[in-house]
Amino acid sequence: MKVAVVGATGLVGTKMLQVLAERNFPVTELIPVASEKSVGKEITYKGKQFKIVSVDTAISMKPDLALFSAGGSTSLQDAPRFAEVGTTVVDNSSAWRMDPTKKLVVPEVNADVLTAEDKIIANPNCSTIQMVVALKPLHDKYKIKRVVVSTYQSVTGTGVKAVDQLMNERAGVDGAKAYPYKIDLNVIPQIDVFLDNGYTKEEMKMVKETNKIMGDDSIRVTATTVRIPVMGGHSESVNIEFANDFDVEEVKALLAKSPGIIVTDDIANLKYPMPLDAHDKDEVFVGRIRRDESQPNTLNCWIVSDNLRKGAATNAVQIAEYLVAKHLVGVPAEA
């Protein structure tokens, strides 16, 4: 399995390499790809050194699989070029997510939509991924009508520059700014740019991507996304209205047995999910599970996951694992 990692030196690309190694993905030849200024430098994978190559060089090597985390413009330009030589691309940017010809996949939810003909597969937004992992078993059982979500998102979702800004501010050091405002000891109720409807792009991603991944446009979603001064993971307060009533203990049991979920809900002992607990883990943690007493058939819960892992790198690798398990990768597009 010849595997290219495009954007290998970034926060998510580095995490992709770590996850590939940890999960013993069957890499026989690794092709790390980064911008021209990084070509020729070396990265370490499983104790060995690999030279970074350009996109053009990587395409000429015809990898079986390419994991992309290099931004939307790079994905739009280069993912089709990889696909043309038979490579299956799993793309972490927003470039292809809402393209009706491309699949948007969270393996626990909808991996079964994938075929050998899918040469460009979109990895969803980090905040959407963790939410739909928890929503899927609940929707199957009770049918979701509406979701109201407020997020508390880690600075790592923005990238290295944002992490540096937070650390510099904490240390009283002047430096480059990723945000228009101070982030230390503050929260910023804006993630991505504002749209004409008053929502941010991140908020509308959560709306549209949830419908596409769940395969159900009848689920109404409204979101408020907020950047907070933490690292380790995104947190979400989620209010879910169902068509059918539920038993809270049954909900907890259902979530606990669902793939990729850990229920941490023991208020007697002050146990609930926090970014510190989710850091460097692949699961989605759910807690504070309780009935909304203000209206019928409605549940409140709190969802936390490591945004660089399940929210990005791990989800991409899990898609790749599914493709390998089902013999869908390395297969000619016309198969």
Tell me the catalytic residues: 126, 234
Pairing of strands 298-305, 65-68: unpaired
Six-digit token pair at 206? 């959560």
The DSSP call for residue 259 is: T
The DSSP call for residue 87 is: P
Nearest of 160, 181, 237 to residue 190 by alpha carbon? 181
Cross-strand partners of 128: none
Instruction: Give Cα 275 distance to the centre of its chain.
Output: 15
Phi, psi for residue 146 in degrees, rounded to 5:
-150, 145
Phi, psi for residue 141 in degrees, rounded to 5:
-90, -45
| Type of residue numbered 194 | F
End-to-end CA distance of the chain: 18
**Burial readout 143-155 (b: 16 or more C-beta within 10 A, e: otherwise):** ebbebbbbbbbbb
Q: Compute the residue count for the chain.
A: 335
The DSSP call for residue 66 is: E
